[in-house]
Structure 1
Amino acid sequence: MAVQAKTPSLHFSHTFHSPSPMPASLSLLFEPLRSMSVASKPQRIRKSLELVTCKSNPNENKQDYLIDAPESVGDGFSFSGGKYSDEPSQSDEWFKKGKMVRAHGVAGSGEKAKDPIFGLTMGVSSQTSADVFRWFCVESGSADKHPVILIHGFPSQAYSYRKVLPVLSKDYHAITFDWLGFGFSDKPQPGYGFDYTLGEYVSSLESLINELAISKFSLVVQGYFSPVVVKYALRHQEKLNNLILLNPPLTAKHANLPSTLSIFSNFLLGEIFAQDPLRASDKALTSCGPYKMKEDDAMVYRRPYLTSGSSGFALNAISRAMKKELKTYVEDMQMILTDKNWNVQTTVFWGQRDCWLNYDGVEDFCKDSNHKLVELPMAGHHVQEDRGEELGQLISKVIRKRSQI
C-alpha cells in the first residue's frame, strides 16, 4: 500500500528530560525553531517542542534520562514524531532490497555514547556495535559480471542511485552503500568509536571493499566524498578498472563547504539544525541544483533524522571534519590526479547546473590532467538524482569502452 503524501508535525519526541529546567540561555537558542516555517508538499509543517520522559527499560524502577526510545514512538533527539507511518513506505521497500555488511572495527573505550549537548546517555539506536560496524549495502545484477561500486556524496544516501542501479545491472554487478553516519548504516556518536574524520572514512572504505571480496572493479563517487575515494584509489590502483567522479571538488574554490552545509558545523547551532529533517535532508538536497523531490523520496531521506538523533549528530560531526580537512584533501586529490604515476582511467561527469561547485576551472583541470570530461547540461550537483537513467547509460559506456582497450 502506498504511503499518502503526508508529513507529521515535527516535535521533540522523547527528546530529553532532566531534573533541572533548561537554562534560559539555551532556551533562547531553541526559540527561533519554534516559530520557523518551512514548506513541505503539499502542506506547511508546524514545529513545536515537547519534553517527554523516557525510560531505558519500563520494567526497571530506576529512571534513565535516555535520548532515544523505541522506533514505534519516535526515538530521536530531533524535531520529529518518530516513524512517520505504520503503512508500508518507500523507505521500507528500499531497505528490503539491501543487506547489512559488517566491516571496519569499532575503536574507542566501549563506553556508552552520550549526546554532545547535554551529556545524556543515548539510547540503543545511537550506540555502536560491540566490535564491527554495520553498513547498509544494495546490490543489483549478476555477481559474475564486472563490479561497479556507486558511492554517494555528502550529505546523501545510497538511495540516490536508485535510478542508476537498474541501468547498470543489465551489464554489470552494481553495488551501492550508505556511508557510516548516513541512511541505514551505523551512526556512531563522535568520540565513541568513530570520529568522522576524512582519514577514518578512507580506512573504513578500505575495510568495506575488502569485506565485499571483489578484486577488480570500477568506482563511481559523487560530490564532497570524492577526495576520500581518490585517497583510497591511490593505495589500490591495481584493483581499479575505472574511476568516475560526479561533480567533485576539483579546484581551490571548491574547497569550502557551501553555507547550506557549513551551518551544521557551527557550535551548538549546528547540533540543533542538524536535528531538523527538512534542513538536514530536503534543503541540503534541493538547494544545490534543479532537483525537486517527490514526497515519497523525501521521506526516505528524512527517515534517519525522524527516527534517531544519531543521524543529526553524525551530520554535525562530518560537517566539522569537512570544514577542517576539505582544503587539504582537495589539494591532495589535485596532486594525485595530475601525477604522472596515476594510471587509473579517470572520467569526470559534471552537472552544469550545480549551485554549490562552480564550473570555472573544471574544464582546464581535466584538459591539463588528460582526464575525460562529460558535461550534463540539465543536471546539478546530485547528478544521479537529476539524470539517473542517462547517467547509468553514460557510466556503462565509459566502462565498456575501457574494457575493450
Structure 2
Amino acid sequence: MKNIPSNATIVLVHAAWADASSWSAVIGPLLKAGVKVIAAQIPMTSLSDDVAALKVALERAGAGPILLVSHSYSGAVITALESDDRVRGLAYVAAMPPAEGETVGDLFFREPPHEKAPHLEPDSHGLLWMSEEGMKNAVAHRATAEQNSIATAAQRPIAMKCLGEAIRTPSWRTKPSWYLLAEEDRMFSPKTQHFVAERMGAEVRSHNVDHAPQISAPATVVEFLLEAADALLTVDLLAANHQIDNKEHDMTTYQHATIQGHKIFYREAGSTTNPTIVLLHGFPSSSHMFRELIPLLASHFHVVAPDYLGFGYSDAPAATDFQYTFDNITAQIEELLFTTLGLKKFSIYVQDYGAPVGFRIASRHPEAIEGIVVQNGNAYVEGISAAFEPLQPFWATRNEETEKAPRSLLTKQTTIFQYTHGAKNVAAVSPDSYTFDQALLDRPGNDAIQLELLHNYPSNVALYDAWHEYFRKHQPRTLIVWGQNDPFFIVPGAQAFLRDLPKAELHLIDGGHFLLEEHNELVAGKIIGFLGRGQKTDAGK
C-alpha cells in the first residue's frame, strides 16, 4: 500500500441486517496500514434515503481520492450515488450492483435461493429482520457462534422499499470497479455475483468465503481493499498531479513524413519505450487541438498526433489532384503509423473526424489496438443530431444550391460556434483555437477539399454496422469522455457504445464539441488512469 496517497479515504458502507460496526475487524487493520477510513451509517428505509445518508458521510472525507466500498445490499447504494469526482473507484464485497432499471430484488432473486437461505417476511412495519438461525446458517456460516450472536443483536432491519427501487444511472458505468466474489455465499448466489462482476468489467478476486467475509474472514477483505486502493487511487494521484518529467524525450517535436508523395505532419512526444497513443483530430482542426494535452500525456505515453492531408501543416493538394475521401486519408495515416513509424500496438484517441479514421484503422487492424479513447467521436445513428439535417440535400444531389449548407460550416462564425457552443465557461476557450483553424480553412482551394470530405461523410455511416461488429467481437478497452453539450454529436451516441462495449467506461462532462479547450487536464487524468490500469509497459514499436 506504499503508493496509496496520504489524503485518500476508504469509505465503507454496511449491508442489511448490520450497521457500521460490521466492518470493525476490517477498520483496525486499514487504520494500521495508514489509510483514513470512514464507516458510513445508512438507515435502510429506502434506497434514496440511503444514498442521501451516504452523501452526508462523504462530506467528512475531504478533497482527496475516495475508494467506495459496499457489502451486499449497499452495492446498490454506491451504484445509485450520483457522480462525485473524488470517488476514484468502487469495491463490491459480495455485493449487488444493479444496472439501469434494475432493483436489488431483481438481482437477489435472479437465481433460486440456497437450500439454507432463510425465508424472510416483513413485520407489521414493512421491515425485514434476520433471525439468529439465518445469520449462522446463511449470512455468516463461517463465523463463530459469538460473532453471529453479536451480529444478530446489533442488526438494523431493512425496509421492503429498499428492494424495489430501480437504479437510474449506475455509477459503475463511469467508475472502475473491483469485486470480491464469495464462492461459498448462501445469501447472494455466486452465479449472480459472477454475472454482475463480468457485466461491470470489474477486477475480480474470488475466495472461498461466506456472504459476510468482513466478519468471518476480515484479513481477506483487508488484503482485497488495499490491493484495490493501491491500483485505483495511485493511478489517479499520478494523473491528478500531472507529474511531467522535464526530460528531453517528453518535449513535443514537430515532424514530417513523406507518404505517397505527400508530406504528412505529426507531433510526437514521450519515450518510445512507453505505450503509444495516437491522437486523431476532428474537423475543422488538426493536431493543434492536442497542443496542451500532449505535454500532460508525454511522461506516460509515446504520443503521436498527425494532421490529415488537407489539414494543419500537412500538404494540401488540390481537390482535382487528390481524391479526398475518408478511406484515402485513413490509408495515409495507416502508412504513417505502421510503415514509417513501425508501430505494432497502440491506443487511439478519436474526436469528430478522428472517429471514422480511427475506427477504420481499428477494424482493419484489431490486433494492433490496445485501447480506444472516444471524445465526441460518433459511430451510432443515435449520436447524429438535427444539425446534420441541412446537409441531406447535399448528400442526395450535389450542386451549387445544395453546397450552400456545407459551405456555411466553413465560415468563421461556425468555427467559433463549434468551439464555444456548450462550453461550461466560454472564457476558458482560447481564441487561438478557432483563429488558427479558420486561417487554414480560408486558404485558397481549401473549401473544395472540405466539401469533398463533407460529401463523402455518408461513407462513414455506411460502415457503422461493421464497426459495431468489430466492437462486439474484439471488445477493445474503451474510455468514453463526452462533452454532453455538443450540438453535433449528442449524448445518446455516447451511450450507444455501451450496447456493444458493455465494459466501456463512460464520462459525460459539462462541455462542448471541443472538450479539451476547457477540460484538458480532466481528460488527461482520465486517460492516464484508464489506460494505465493493466497497461503493458513494453514499447509500442
TM superposition score normalised by structure 1 = 0.61
Query: Can you list the C-alpha shifts for 1:130-188, whole angstroms capped at 9, x where unaligned?
Result: xx111111112223322211111123211111121111012111111111111111122
Q: Which runs of 5+ in 2 are unaligned?
A: 1-251
Q: Given the alignment, which residue of 248, 257, 263 partners 1:101?
A: 257
Answer whether contact 1:260 1:283 (CA < 8 A) is retained: no
How far apart are residue 300 of structure 1 and its match?
A: 1.6
* Residues 1:302 and 2:431 aligned together: no
User: Which amino acid counterpart does residue 196 of structure 1 have in structure 2?
Assistant: Y
Q: Distance in 1 between matches of 2:486 and 2:293?
A: 19
- 1:26-175 to 2 correspondences below 5 Å: 97-103=253-259, 105=260, 132-175=261-304
Q: Given the alignment, which residue of 307, 312, 317 partners 1:183?
A: 312
Q: Distance in 1 between matches of 2:482 and 2:390?
A: 20
Quote the residue 2:511 is aligned against.
379
Change in Cα spacing, 1:283 to 1:176, as seen in structure 2 (3 Å) is: same
User: Which amino acid counterpart does residue 351 of structure 2 have in structure 1?
Assistant: Q
Answer whether contact 1:155 1:281 (CA < 8 A) is retained: yes
How far apart are residue 317 of structure 1 and its match?
A: 1.0
How far apart are residue 318 of structure 1 and its match?
A: 0.7
- 1:157-236 to 2 correspondences below 5 Å: 157-193=286-322, 195-210=323-338, 211-236=340-365
Quote the residue 1:29 is aligned against.
none
Q: Distance in 1 between matches of 2:328 and 2:446?
A: 18
Q: Distance in 2 between matches of 1:161 and 1:291?
A: 19
Change in Cα spacing, 1:298 to 1:347, as seen in structure 2 (3 Å) is: closer
SS, match of residue 492 in structure 2: coil
Q: Distance in 2 between matches of 1:276 and 1:236?
A: 33
Change in Cα spacing, 1:366 to 1:166, as seen in structure 2 (3 Å) is: same
Q: Distance in 2 between matches of 1:256 and 1:191?
A: 31
Quote the residue 2:466 is aligned against.
332
User: Which amino acid counterpart does residue 252 of structure 1 have in structure 2?
Assistant: V
User: Which amino acid counterpart does residue 198 of structure 1 have in structure 2?
Assistant: F
Identity of aligned residues (%): 21
Quote the residue 1:312 is aligned against.
447
Quote the residue 1:286 is aligned against.
420
Answer whether contact 2:279 2:290 (CA < 8 A) is retained: yes
Query: Can you list the C-alpha shifts for 1:213-239, whole angstroms capped at 9, x where unaligned?
Result: 222221111124313311211222222
User: Which amino acid counterpart does residue 298 of structure 2 have in structure 1?
Assistant: S
- 1:219-298 to 2 correspondences below 5 Å: 219-255=348-384, 258-259=387-388, 262=391, 267-268=399-400, 270=403, 273=407, 277-279=411-413, 281-287=415-421, 292=426, 293-298=429-434
Q: Distance in 2 between matches of 1:275 and 1:150?
A: 23
User: Which amino acid counterpart does residue 303 of structure 2 have in structure 1?
Assistant: A
Answer whether contact 2:269 2:298 (CA < 8 A) is retained: yes
Q: Distance in 2 between matches of 1:280 and 1:134?
A: 29
Quote the residue 2:533 is aligned against.
401
Answer whether contact 1:353 1:378 (CA < 8 A) is retained: yes
Q: Distance in 2 between matches of 1:274 and 1:314?
A: 14
Answer whether contact 2:419 2:512 (CA < 8 A) is retained: no
Answer whether contact 2:254 2:268 (CA < 8 A) is retained: yes
Change in Cα spacing, 1:311 to 1:346, as seen in structure 2 (3 Å) is: same
Q: Distance in 2 between matches of 1:321 and 1:300?
A: 25
User: Which amino acid counterpart does residue 305 of structure 1 have in structure 2?
Assistant: L
Q: Distance in 1 between matches of 2:389 and 2:311?
A: 17
How far apart are residue 297 of structure 1 and its match?
A: 3.1
Answer whether contact 1:198 1:228 (CA < 8 A) is retained: yes
Q: Distance in 1 between matches of 2:257 and 2:528?
A: 26
Query: Can you list the C-alpha shifts for 1:104-135, whole angstroms capped at 9, x where unaligned?
Result: x2xxxxxxxxxxxxxxxxxxxxxxxxxx1111
Q: Distance in 1 between matches of 2:315 and 2:349?
A: 22
Answer whether contact 1:261 1:284 (CA < 8 A) is retained: no
Q: Which runs of 5+ in 1 are unaligned?
A: 1-95, 106-131
**Root-mean-square deviation (CA), in Å?**
3.0
Quote the residue 2:490 is aligned against.
358
User: Which amino acid counterpart does residue 321 of structure 1 have in structure 2?
Assistant: N
Change in Cα spacing, 1:248 to 1:296, as seen in structure 2 (3 Å) is: closer
Quote the residue 1:36 is aligned against.
none
Answer whether contact 2:385 2:487 (CA < 8 A) is retained: no
Answer whether contact 2:383 2:494 (CA < 8 A) is retained: no
SS, match of residue 534 in structure 2: helix
Change in Cα spacing, 1:370 to 1:385, as seen in structure 2 (3 Å) is: same
Q: Distance in 1 between matches of 2:385 and 2:493?
A: 15
Q: Distance in 1 between matches of 2:389 and 2:517?
A: 18
Change in Cα spacing, 1:260 to 1:149, as seen in structure 2 (3 Å) is: farther
Larger radius of gyration: 2
Answer whether contact 2:418 2:514 (CA < 8 A) is retained: no
Change in Cα spacing, 1:361 to 1:222, as seen in structure 2 (3 Å) is: closer
Answer whether contact 1:242 1:346 (CA < 8 A) is retained: yes
SS, match of residue 350 in structure 2: strand
Answer whether contact 1:275 1:313 (CA < 8 A) is retained: no
Change in Cα spacing, 1:351 to 1:185, as seen in structure 2 (3 Å) is: same
